[in-house]
Amino acid sequence: MINITLKQLRYFEALARHGHFGKAAEACAISQPALSMQIKEMEETLGASLIERGPRQVRLTHFGEVAVERARDILRAAEELGDLARASRDRLVGRLRIGVIPTIAPYLLPRVISALTVHHPELEIHVRETVTPKLIQELGEGKLDTAIVALPVSEASLAETPLFSETFMLVRSASEASAPLPSADTLREMRLLLLEEGHCFRDQALSFCNLPSGPPREMLDASSLSTLVQMVSAGMGVTLIPEMAVPVETRSASVSISRFENPEPTRTVGMVWRKSSPLAGQLNEIADIVRSSAESRP
C-alpha cells in the first residue's frame, strides 16, 4: 500500500493551484524547503514526477495533472468525513466556513454573525469574501461549507435555497435629485458606473439596462460599491446599488437615491452548498437564521 499523507496531498494541491513553491508554501503556512521536501517525498513514494521545476514557476506533468484531480477528490472526501462527524451531533459545533459575495458581505454579515453567535455559540465561524465564480470553485473543492450569493448559480452539484429578494436603487448626484427618473433605455445612454468584471451584480445591472457584457461607451468600472457611490457623488456618472447597501454607502456621500418604476430591477439572494454535504440539514437551519437576520435589517 502506498503511504501518502493528507498533508502531502494538501501541499501538492496548493502547489498545483499556485504554480509556485514560494506562494504555495505561504498559503500552507510552512517554509518553502519543507514544502519542497514533502513534494519530493511524495514523488519518490509514487515513483513518478508530479511537476516540472522551472526557474520561476512549476508546471504539472501529465501524471501530475491526473494526480491533482484525484488528490482534490481525496481531500474533499476527508473534509466530508469531518462534516459527517459534526452532522451526527445534536447541535451545531466546530468550524463553519461561509463564503459571501462583496455586494452582500458588509451589509448582512454583522447581523448574521451576531445571530449565529447567539443561537450556536459553539460554532467557529470562518468567512471568505470574494466573487461568485471563486466561491463556487471553493465550494466544489470542499474549502467552503456554504456560500451566500445571488441566485441562480445553476451548478448541478450544488443545492440552492432562496433567502430574500431585494431591489436595485438608482444613485445620482444630489444635484440631479429633481431630474426625471431615467428608464432602463435612458440609462444605456448615460455614463453608467459599475463594478468590475467578475461581480455578478455587474451582470445583473447590465441585464436590466439591456447592455452587453463588454464595456459600453462611457462606462467606468470600480472594485467596490463604496467607490461607485463616491464617484457618483463627485459627478462622474450614475450607478445602481442593492437596497441593503444604501444606509451604509450613502451616509457620507452627496447623492440622491431613487426607486425605479415597476417592474423594478431585483435580485434573489440565497445560500448554496454541495448536495453531497453531510451538513445539509444543519445548513438549512443556518439558512433560516440568515433569512431572519435579513428580515430584521432596518
The structural domains of the chain, with segments of one domain joined by +, span 6-77, 86-163+268-295, 165-266
Nearest to 193 by CA among 224, 230, 239: 239
Mean pLDDT of 220-240: 89
pTM: 0.73
**Residue 57: its pLDDT value, please?**
75
Strands (E), 130-254: 146-151, 158-173, 192-195, 220-222, 238-242
Phi-psi region of 216 (alpha: psi -120 to 50; beta: other; left: phi over 0): beta
Q: Quickly state the pLDDT bin for 38 (edges 50, 70, 90).
A: very high
User: Bridge-partner residues for 100, per DSSP?
Assistant: 129, 148
Report which residue type is found at 231: M
Mean pLDDT of 152-174: 93
**Residue 201: its pLDDT value, please?**
85
Mean pLDDT of 52-78: 85
What is the architecture of the domain spanning 86-163+268-295? 3-Layer(aba) Sandwich (3.40)
Q: Quickly state the pLDDT bin for 255 (edges 50, 70, 90).
A: very high
pLDDT tens, position by position, 187-228 = 877 888 888 877 888 888 888 877 766 554 445 678 899 999
Mean pLDDT of 146-155: 93
Domains 86-163+268-295 and 165-266 share a fold: yes
For the purposes of burial, counting CB atoms within 10 Å of the CB of 180, is it exposed (0-12), middle (13-18) or buried (19 or more)? exposed
What is the architecture of the domain spanning 165-266? 3-Layer(aba) Sandwich (3.40)
Range of lowest pLDDT (55-64, 74-83, 111-120): 74-83
**Residue 152: its pLDDT value, please?**
92
Nearest to 291 by CA among 119, 170, 94, 95: 119
**What value does the mean pLDDT of the chain take?**
87
Residue/partner pairs of 176-183 with CB below 8 Å, 24 or more apart: 176/238, 176/256, 177/256, 181/258, 181/260, 181/261, 182/238, 183/261
Nearest to 149 by CA among 168, 167, 169, 135: 135
For the purposes of burial, counting CB atoms within 10 Å of the CB of 36, is it exposed (0-12), middle (13-18) or buried (19 or more)? middle
Mean pLDDT of 53-60: 79
Which CATH number fits the domain 6-77, given the four candidates 1.25.40.10, 1.10.10.10, 3.60.10.10, 3.90.1150.10?
A: 1.10.10.10
